[in-house]
Chain A
Amino acid sequence: MKWVCWMIAGAVSLTAVSCATKPPEPAVVLTGNIMVDGPNATEHGPPRDKVLWEYRTAAAAMRQGKFDLAKRFLDDALTTLQAVYGPDSNARKSRGYFHAEAKKTFIGEPYERSMAYIYRGVLYWMEGELDNARACFRSAEVEDSDTANHAYAGDWVLPDYLDGLVTTKLGGAGSDALKRAQAGAKFVKLPPYNPKANVLIFLEFGPGPTKYATGQYSEELRFHVSPSVVTSAEFQVDGKEFPVAPTDDVWFQASTRGGRVMDHILANKAVFKTATDVAGNVALIGGGAALMSGGGRDATANEVGLGLLAAGVISKLFSAATTPEADVRSWDNLPRYLSFASLALSPGRHTVTVQFHDGVGQVLSNFTKTVTVDVPADGQDKVIFVSDQSLTPQTI
């Protein structure tokens, strides 16, 4: 029995050693205010969650009109996203049996990456950098291009539409991108470009998708979306009303990506977890039976029994240590719907009122936003970003 004691002592000491090399997890106290929690978590939280918090904070900042802040967070997040190629120690570990997927550095699923590019594109347009805005819209489509079903590859509507609009404004031919956008539009008939349009209105509304996990060990990634109270919008400016329907459904983009390579890895982890658990049970029962049959007098039976018990414990430890749980970290303040409108306004001050409608067309007055815009005389585009979560009133 001496070696059993040795084994226990060894296991304890090994556990102690492994814990000694484990860095302390940064603790972030959340207040519930994203504009406080986001910068705090980005600065002091786990590095693997940094991009997640940058995404969340950027979206919140956009809605508060803090576009410089959104730009800063998105730029940092996209820098990480663009350098994701090749070996990555955290990603490699997350594929291992004993590390959860959520240990990897978060960059988001393709729909989240696309949204980061779309927001950054809007911000570039605000700054008058149309070609860089177009670059972002193109990258948004590229992020969505590796789907299991190719019918859903690169099928965002708004990025294609805006790609063509920028190209047209820069003197090129945007008709191909317009055709792609028109072909993909499910909810709205996209109008041809108006080259004289100098006011661009980006709209977003409804709660976006979040992630959850199903399966015996929560190894299957799924997407959930709450029903949106807001289903369409309308804006009024200079006494005219312009209805706006959604161009893109972010939940649709999340749910049509199809299976991931990581899903197979997690499935394998789940199989391993089950197999080692079952093997452990068998060994423990077998070991117990051998000990009982020896009755304490048969040394060989006792040794075999103890060996099986030890193997059973080890197998159970393997099973317990296996982590097939899917990564459900979500950019949880995304919108459900995106939309866009462009119009030509004379230089000077205008007031834009945006009303959001429910499913039967009733105005949801508590969501109404007012934006005062100064349209420049130099011909540069004025970009307005309005969410059903935006602060109101705003002056830009």
Chain B
Amino acid sequence: MKLVSPFSPFATLAVAGVLCGCASSGVKTPSGVPVTQMRPDEQGFVAGTGVESQDLVVVTDKMWRSILGIPQIANAQGAPRVVLDPVENATRFPINKDIFLARIRAELNTKAHGKVIFLARERMATLEHERQMKQSGQVTATADPNVVEFKGADFFLTGKLSGLTTRTSAGTSDYILYAFQLIDARTSDIVWEDSAEIKKQGLEDAAYR
């Protein structure tokens, strides 16, 4: 009886093929990934445990809806004036924190139909300059520029982002509490407060551990 070698040519070729294939450094997506348009409220294929667009949308949507329902806004005689006071970031993620208030303001301006008016305090330098030019006659004015018409705030809208982090060999866990307040400018009463919580966990590839 003829012995059959365990190293037949085709088996050997197959093993060699696997070897060569494994050793190659061909890339998974050599043509790249085309630009993918995504909704800001969905998690993309690039994600971390920090603050992301879907968190921003969820949190700010909850906040502007909540603000619209409070009596100080819903039943106000005339539209209350609101000034944005910068959010404090007490998380471990450096972020553009102004974006939270910017979206709440934009949503309220769009959806509240004039029930609340925001004052452009961050533009005061430009506004003052324009007023000075009107006062000096450099540009025309439709009203007496010497009369102060800049409005004072009825409320301040502000917030604070606080975080808790755990990092172990099992991964990283980040919890963020997004708390926002509407403060009465005259009395310092906190007339409204609401919050949202988001917790994320992730584990990096073992190559990074």
Interface residues, chain A, with chain B CB atoms under 8 Å away: 3-4, 6-7, 10-11, 14-15, 17-19, 21-23, 78, 82-89, 91-99, 101, 103-104, 107, 120-121, 124, 129, 131-136, 138-139, 142, 145-146, 170, 172, 260-262, 265, 300, 303-304, 306-308, 310-311, 314, 317-318, 321
B167, A3: Cβ atoms under 8 Å? no
Q: Which residues of B contact A265 (CB under 8 A)?
A: 206-207
Contacts of B23 in A (CB 8 A): 18, 98, 321
Contact A310 B48 (CB under 8 A): no
From A82, A135, A314, B12 is in contact (CB under 8 Å) with A314
Q: Would A14 and B165 count as touching, CB distance under 8 A?
A: no
Q: Are A86 and B207 in contact (CB under 8 A)?
A: no
From B1-9, B123-131, B181-189, give the one contacting chain A. Answer: B1-9
Q: Are A21 and B26 in contact (CB under 8 A)?
A: yes
Give the residue of A18, A124, A142, A311 whose beta carbon is less than 8 angstroms from that of B7. Answer: A311
Q: Are A86 and B92 in contact (CB under 8 A)?
A: no
CB pair A6–B202 under 8 Å, yes or no, is no
A318 to B97, CA, bound (A): 53
B39 at the interface (CB under 8 A from A): no
> A11 to B209, Cβ gap below 8 A?
no
Q: Of the candidates A3, A146, A314, which one forms a contact with B19 in the assembled complex, judged by CB atoms under 8 Å apart? A: A314
Interface residues on B, range: 35 or more
Q: Are B7 and A307 in contact (CB under 8 A)?
A: yes
Q: Is the CB of B203 within 8 A of A85?
A: yes
B25 CB to nearest A CB, Å: 5
A residues in contact with B203, CB < 8 Å: 85-86
Once the chains bind, are A14 and B205 in contact (CB under 8 Å)?
Answer: no
* A318 CA to B5 CA, complexed, in Å: 21
Q: Which of A3, A107, A300, A311 contacts B2 (CB 8 A)?
A: A300
* Assembled-state Cα–Cα distance A394/B26 (Å): 48
Closest beta carbon of chain A to B51's beta carbon, Å: 10
B206 pairs with A124, CB closer than 8 A: no
Please indicate the chain A residues that have their CB under 8 angstroms from the CB of B16 in the complex. Answer: 7, 10-11, 14, 314, 317
B150 adjacent to chain A (CB < 8 Å)? no
